[in-house]
Amino acid sequence: MTAVRLLSTTVATPVEGTQPVRQPRTFPRLFGSLLLVVAAGISTVGAVPAGAEPAPAVRPLGRIVPAPASVQPGGAPYTLTPWTRIRVDDHSREARQIGTYLARILRPSTGYALPVTDDHLPGGIRLRLSPRDQGLGEEGYRLESTRGSLTLTAHKPAGLFHAVQTLRQLLPASVEKDSRQQVPWKVAGGTITDTPRYAYRGAMLDVSRHFFTVDQVKRYIDQLALYKINKLHLHLSDDQGWRIAIDSWPRLATYGGSTQVGGGRGGHYTRKDYQEILGHAASRYLEVVPEIDMPGHTNAALASYAELNCSGIAPPLYTGTDVGFSSLCVPKPVTYDFVDDVVRELAALTPGRYLHIGGDEAHSTSHADYVAFMDKVQPIVAKYGKTVVGWHQLTGATPAKGALAQYWGLDGTSDAEKAQVARAARNGTGLILSPADRVYLDMKYNKDTPLGLDWAGFVEVRRSYDWDPATYLPGAPGSAVAGVEAPLWSETISTSDHIEFMAFPRLPGVAELGWSPASTHDWEAYKVRLAAQGPRMAALGIDFYRSPQVPWPSA
């Protein structure tokens, strides 16, 4: 049995009480209304009435998600007043932009003017970029809160941006509301010094099974930023839809993107749309990782261009939810012209360092063809200056030097498959950990969850948080772990409400696994910090799942 067949077989093996393949999913829009009913009534025990604000008025300094690396509480709190200014370093455009972003968050709820200035008067909220604080690295920061001033210091702008997210969470949750609130705006006294555990802290959105508009993606980006997620992986192509305009192969988007699961209208991003997403992500210090899934999951491309098929005949568009039935034609030279064009155009558009080439569930590609395909395609990615990311089946071929493999197995994945990935990790392939039975955000929380799938089992909030990336995959060195990523597949997900109900509150836990030191890992403490996010998510209009595992504050 070949390695890839081995993988295919083991991935398809059901774990207890689950289905071997993704289930048929033609879900009516009824879900939107069901969701509202569930969100309104699922749990009277942990419900967070709109507008509820837990005591005390001054939040303990460390009570944020992700948990900070170091907290030294002490001293009198800092208080925002109608006269507070946001002071930024005069030489930094980015510090000014971050100061303006902070002011825009704080103004509606405080009702204060909060001018952004580069004056040198003492006091106020100060945003500093400090060349000397190299220890804070690319993304770390220090927050110092005293009676007279609140100072955010970072070595790089991303750190300043993350410091702002911490400051948001230290203020009362009603700071997130868009109308004026009469609340004392205090930040507990003390110092937080904080740097991330992993450089790769991602979330994936499948825009192929259902298409999401630029505004929907931007909304999700804003929510990810609050928890210091720094990668947005966009699953841009699959059997059901091709979602990015490629000038040299225009029918991919215009025809291949014209529908979606269930037969709706679909859609695609023009270059301008994609650039708008990239720009918004960059303003939130997220790097976009675009994925073109190959050689399987390619029906939308095969339907758009007959010559990409070994038969020379284009299949019809596909609006169901099966997987594993499509493959690019590995022996045909035109396949590599196609891949070269797509990768060249996408790489030129994308400023980030990664390009994800998929490689999962290639059940209709022979093992020899899979290996041959990956041997040809990975150098194309390198030729256009990008680093390969692939789903972990890539380790059944020969991963390129520097490639990252995204592990999406389960507890029930075979030892042989886990060993194959671990072996690659020992040989230098980096790992992004996305175990499906932990962090797939499309898995149902329990049997009553109206959205989502259950082929990897039910994933309640504790299960998604309570594991350690460094020791997760037996035989893989902790040093190979680049980070974690929470994918959200969209067979059953078609609105922002759906995204939010499935992502929250599991996503903050994955963000914490990526950011916080292992020493802070503790479910009992985490659930209290997560509970404090309830009123904040409510104030932001995030329709989250009121898990009974979390002690949400009552009024």
Closer residue to ligand ACM in complex, CB, 163/362: 362
DSSP string, 379-437: HHHHHTT-EEEEEGGGGGS-PPTT-EEEE---TTS-HHHHHHHHHHHHTT-EEEE--HH
What is the smallest separation between the CB atom of 24 and ligand ACM, expressed in angstroms? 16
Cβ neighbors of 468 (< 8 A, separation 6 or more) are: 513, 518, 521
Residue nearest to ligand ACM (CB): 360
What is the smallest separation between the CB atom of 163 and ligand ACM, expressed in angstroms? 34
Q: Could you give the CA distance from residue 12 to residue 23 in angstroms, rounded to a whole number?
A: 12
Interstrand relation of 241-242 and 387-391 (parallel, antiparallel or unpaired): unpaired
Q: How many CA atoms lie within 13 A of 479 on its CB side?
A: 3
- Cβ atoms of 81 and 112 within 8 Å: the answer is yes
Closer residue to ligand ACM in complex, CB, 408/501: 408
Question: Which of helix, strand or coil describes residue 398?
Answer: coil
What is the smallest separation between the CB atom of 408 and ligand ACM, expressed in angstroms? 5
Closer residue to ligand ACM in complex, CB, 408/504: 408
What is the smallest separation between the CB atom of 323 and ligand ACM, expressed in angstroms? 7
Interstrand relation of 190-194 and 404-407 (parallel, antiparallel or unpaired): unpaired
Closer residue to ligand ACM in complex, CB, 8/223: 8
Alpha helical stretches, state H, 431-539: 436-439, 461-465, 496-503, 506-515, 523-531, 533-539
Greatest CA separation for the chain: 74
- Structure token digits, residue 36: 């509202």
- Cβ atoms of 456 and 438 within 8 Å: the answer is no
What is the smallest separation between the CB atom of 233 and ligand ACM, expressed in angstroms? 11
- Structure token digits, residue 500: 């939010």
Question: Which phi and psi (to 5°) does residue 396 adopt?
Answer: -80, -15
Q: Could you give the CA distance from residue 55 to residue 49 in angstroms, rounded to a whole number?
A: 14
Question: Which of helix, strand or coil describes residue 389?
Answer: strand
Rg of the chain, C-alpha, whole Å: 23
**Amino acid letter, 177:** K
Specify whether 287 is catalytic: no
Q: Could you give the CA distance from residue 6 to residue 491 in angstroms, rounded to a whole number?
A: 26
DSSP string, 229-295: --EEEEE-EETTEE-B--TTSTHHHHTTTS--GGG-----B-HHHHHHHHHHHHHTT-EEEEEEEES
What is the smallest separation between the CB atom of 406 and ligand ACM, expressed in angstroms? 7
Closer residue to ligand ACM in complex, CB, 154/410: 410
Q: From the CB of residue 76, how many other CB atoms can be counted at a distance below 10 Å?
A: 13
Q: Could you give the CA distance from residue 150 to residue 187 in angstroms, rounded to a whole number?
A: 9
What is the smallest separation between the CB atom of 211 and ligand ACM, expressed in angstroms? 19
Closer residue to ligand ACM in complex, CB, 68/359: 359
Q: Could you give the CA distance from residue 167 to residue 204 in angstroms, rounded to a whole number?
A: 26
Q: Could you give the CA distance from residue 14 to residue 165 in angstroms, rounded to a whole number?
A: 40
What is the smallest separation between the CB atom of 467 and ligand ACM, expressed in angstroms? 18
Q: How many CA atoms lie within 13 A of 503 on its CB side?
A: 31
Closer residue to ligand ACM in complex, CB, 361/369: 361
DSSP class of residue 56 equals: P
Closer residue to ligand ACM in complex, CB, 48/432: 432
Q: Which is the catalytic residue, given 176, 291, 361, 512?
A: 361
Closer residue to ligand ACM in complex, CB, 139/239: 239
Question: Which phi and psi (to 5°) does residue 80 adopt?
Answer: -75, 140
What is the smallest separation between the CB atom of 440 and ligand ACM, expressed in angstroms? 7
Give the footprint of ligand ACM on this chain (CB under 6 A). 360-361, 391, 408
What is the smallest separation between the CB atom of 443 and ligand ACM, expressed in angstroms? 11
**Amino acid letter, 335:** T
Work out whether the CA dihedral 462, 465, 468, 473 comes out positive or negative: positive
Closer residue to ligand ACM in complex, CB, 161/391: 391
As annotated, the active-site residues are 361
